[in-house]
Every structure is written in structure tokens, then in C-alpha cells.
Amino acid sequence: MSNTFCVATAREALLCRCRVLAVCSSSYLRCRVVGRALLPVIGSVFLDRLYQSSTANPTLASKMATKRSLAAKLGVVAGFDSPRVALEQYHTPPELAAHVVHLADLHGDVDGRTVVDLGAGTGMLALGAALRGPARVIALELDRTALETARANERRVAASAPIHWVHADATRSPVAPAEPVTLVMNPPFGAQNSNRHADRRFLETASDLAAVSYSVHNAGSESFIDAFVADHGGSVTHAFAAAFAVDAQFTHHTDETRDLDVEVFRIEWA
């Protein structure tokens, strides 16, 4: 498998040759972009290439045009009323959720599939998937209050796919669907002393449950992800950098709003 790492400055962004990202199982290209303004540019290059590789598929072309619509629909999803710092509860930005779900859909990993959301929070990723025609969505969340908000968000979004909200520890999943599972998650980064290595436990569950997973991780996680996935017989097929906007909600937050650098990985599990 060919690993290509691309670092782009603002001037170089439009020339950055990220097109090998387009649905190519033999190449794994990581594209890291310097500067938050470039992230949408790289995302657009990626999606444009996906479109060019699929011009014969009018359904795919239609989906290409609806990512913004998906983000708009997810804009009504309410966040945590009383976020818990020990659980690292942060509201996933609708734009990021829409991008992840859209990418999964373009790969054929959502439509007609069972989708599982580990640590669903108030439902952002689960609801995004539910709007793209899955057979069903199963969302696991430890916080009962967050689940209540997620159910209210389901009514706001009005997705037609069935969603099963399950009160459970995502790292000890009580569900094990027999059919192939697409798993989505924005796990805790393990930044809190009480929650160290939480991301590893989520990945262990993903490796047990999923045929393919999409997960959001703290920037700088690629070496850990690569090693973990290799040890579990999986394969990282795609990765991209993104910005995760975090509003001040805990006492240790000194900025009103801060953009965290994150990395999103698509992993095929053995």
C-alpha cells in the first residue's frame, strides 16, 4: 500500500495533488493542510475527484450536491445541556458530521446498511446517517440526559430511517448485529486523566463490530491509528484533516471559541 503525505500552504492548496484520494483502494493519501481556511478547499478537491470517477452514476452525482443540505438539516441538532468534562462531551459541528456521513455514503457504506454510532452524544452523527437511507441506525450512549436530547433531536430532524437509541457503555457494546456494520464515532480523545486511552477502547469495539468505520481523532493520532489498525488486521483507506470548533463550556477553557485540529479516518476491518 502506497502512503503519500501532502503538506499544503495557502498558495499551494489548489495545486495540491490530492486526487489519488478518489476511491482508490491501492493508495492511502493523507492530506494535511496548513491553515484552517484551506480545509474546505481540500475537501472540495476530494469530492470533485470522487464525482469525476463516478460521472456515470446520476444517483451519486445527486448526492454530491446535497452535502450542504445535510449540514443545514443537522444545524437544528441541539448539543449537551450540561456537558460532562470527564466524558469529554463536545457538540460535533454539523459541517464536520455532514462531511463524514457524506463520505461514507459516497463509498456505499450507508444506504441500506446497518449503521452504529458509538458514544452518540446528542445524536449528530447518528442523525446524519439516518438522513441517508440506512436500513437502521443503532446509537449507543452512556449519558441518559444526552439520550433524551438525542430523541428530541430525532423529532426535529424527522429522519425516516429507524433509529434505536441504546443506553450503554460504547466500549462494552450490548449489540452485535449479524449483518455487516458501518460504524461512525467521535470518541473521547482521552485528554482527561479519568478518561485516558478512551479512544483506544472505542477502536477496540469498532474492530469487533464493524466492517468499516469512520472516526474523528485528535490531530497527531495517525501513528497510533496506523499501528492499532495493523495490529487488529485492518486497513486505513482514507484520512483527512479537519477543524473542530469548540465553544467555551468548561472552567479550563480560556477562549470563547477555539478550533481544534482533528483527523478523520476510514478504516476497513478484517
Q: What's the pTM value of the predicted model, to 2 decimals?
A: 0.74
Of 136-140, 247-251, 265-269, the range with the lowest mean pLDDT is 247-251
Q: What is the pLDDT of residue 99?
A: 92
Residue closest to 31 by CA, chosen among 265, 269, 267: 265
pLDDT, tens digit (0-9, with 9 covering 90-100), for 157-203: 999 999 999 999 999 999 999 999 999 999 987 655 555 667 899 99
Residue 26 has pLDDT above 50, yes or no: no
Residue 104 has pLDDT above 60, yes or no: yes
Taking the C-alpha atoms of residue 63 and residue 109, their distance in angstroms, rounded to an integer, is 13
Average confidence (pLDDT) over 223-240: 96
**Cross-strand partners of 258:** 246
Tell me the pLDDT band of 72, cut-offs 50, 70 and 90: very high
Residue 6: helix, strand or coil by DSSP? Answer: strand
- Express as a percent the part of the chain with pLDDT over 90: 54
Taking the C-alpha atoms of residue 229 and residue 119, their distance in angstroms, rounded to an integer, is 20
Q: Which residues contact 67 (CB under 8 A, 6 or more apart)?
A: 47, 98, 99, 102
Of 18-27, 161-170, 254-263, the range with the lowest mean pLDDT is 18-27
pLDDT, tens digit (0-9, with 9 covering 90-100), for 209-222: 999 999 999 888 99
Q: Which residues contact 62 (CB under 8 A, 6 or more apart)?
A: none
C-alpha cell at 159: 429522519
Taking the C-alpha atoms of residue 196 and residue 178, their distance in angstroms, rounded to an integer, is 31
Q: Domains of the chain by range and CATH?
A: 1-65 (no CATH), 68-268 (3.40.50.150)
Q: Between 252 and 96, where is the model more confident?
A: 96
Environment class of residue 146 by beta-carbon count within 10 Å: exposed (0-12), middle (13-18) or buried (19+)? Answer: buried
Q: Between 228 and 36, where is the model more confident?
A: 228
